[in-house]
């Protein structure tokens, strides 16, 4: 498996950095975003390091999106979201900040607009763990 020692998501996969994991199998992992837009904001990643959509094998990308659907359903139920935004960015021009392919699952509510990255605050790890525990039963 390809890993990047400088990548925070690779460190999460290897359990070298804290995270609130809500799903994990041999090739894909889902955990809560440390700077959530709303409670339940989750990320789905391949465990192997791929920078973006252009270099990940299609079969693995399909698996990432299968897990995205499962996690999106679980998040929606757990936090009573009215909708879910699915966001996946590729490259600096697209506002990708962490260069390890990831899909955002963002719970949304009527009339709400997505905040910009500089407006988001770091979440408390204990609160993220509580939210993860609320979502896991729906997986």
Q: Which residues does the annotation mark as catalytic?
A: 102
The angle, 0 to 180 degrees and rounded to 10, between the axes of the packed helices 58-79 and 125-135 is: 100
Percent helix / strand / coil, the chain, rounded to 5: 35, 20, 45
Q: Which residues make Cβ contacts (< 8 Å) with residue 112, sequence separation at least 6?
A: 38
- 43 vs 103: CA distance, rounded Å: 5
8 A C-beta contact, residue 139 and residue 74: yes
34: left (phi over 0), alpha (psi -120 to 50) or beta: alpha
* Backbone torsions φ then ψ of 66, nearest 5 degrees: -65, -45
């Amino acid at each position: 498996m390809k890993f990047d020692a400088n990548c925070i998501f690779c460190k999460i996969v290897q359990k070298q950095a804290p995270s609130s994991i809500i799903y994990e199998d041999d090739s894909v992992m889902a955990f809560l975003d440390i700077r959530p837009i709303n409670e339940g904001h989750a990320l789905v990643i391949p465990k192997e390091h791929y920078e973006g959509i252009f270099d990940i094998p299609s079969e693995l990308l399909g698996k990432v999106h299968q897990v995205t659907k499962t996690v999106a359903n679980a998040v929606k139920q757990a936090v009573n979201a009215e909708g879910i935004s699915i966001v996946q960015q590729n490259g600096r021009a697209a506002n990708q900040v962490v260069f390890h392919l990831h899909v955002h699952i963002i719970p949304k509510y009527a009339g709400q607009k997505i905040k910009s990255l500089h407006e988001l605050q770091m979440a408390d790890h204990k609160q993220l763990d509580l939210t993860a525990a609320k979502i896991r039963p729906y997986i």
